[in-house]
């Protein structure tokens, strides 16, 4: 497979909902994570970097 130089790196933003509960009190936060991939010849796509971007606040959880 011939991958051009400009397509050897890809980045994606993903949203995750993280929940915790302690003493019957629960909390859920929504966080954004950026995942960067790099194409390695003869191995395919590999994770190059994972970066915590931040939290979404003031957003309805319904």
Query: How high is the pLDDT of residue 56?
Result: 81
What is the reported pTM?
0.64
Residue 28 in contact with residue 19, Cβ under 8 Å?
A: yes
Q: What angle do CA 23, 61, 29 make, to 5 degrees?
A: 55
Give the C-alpha distances (Å, rounded to integers) separating 25 from 29, 40, 52, 53: 14, 45, 25, 26
Write out pLDDT tens, residues 2-59.
Answer: 545 456 899 999 999 999 999 999 999 999 999 999 999 999 999 999 999 998 876 5
Query: How high is the pLDDT of residue 10?
Result: 94
Domain residue ranges in the chain: 5-56
Query: How high is the pLDDT of residue 2?
Result: 52
Query: How high is the pLDDT of residue 61?
Result: 53
């Amino acid at each position: 497979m011939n991958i051009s130089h400009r397509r050897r790196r890809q980045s994606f933003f993903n949203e995750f909902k993280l929940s915790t509960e302690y003493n019957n009190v629960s909390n859920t936060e929504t966080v954004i994570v950026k995942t960067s991939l790099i194409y390695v010849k003869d191995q395919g796509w590999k994770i190059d970097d994972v970066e915590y971007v931040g939290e979404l606040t003031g957003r309805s959880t319904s």
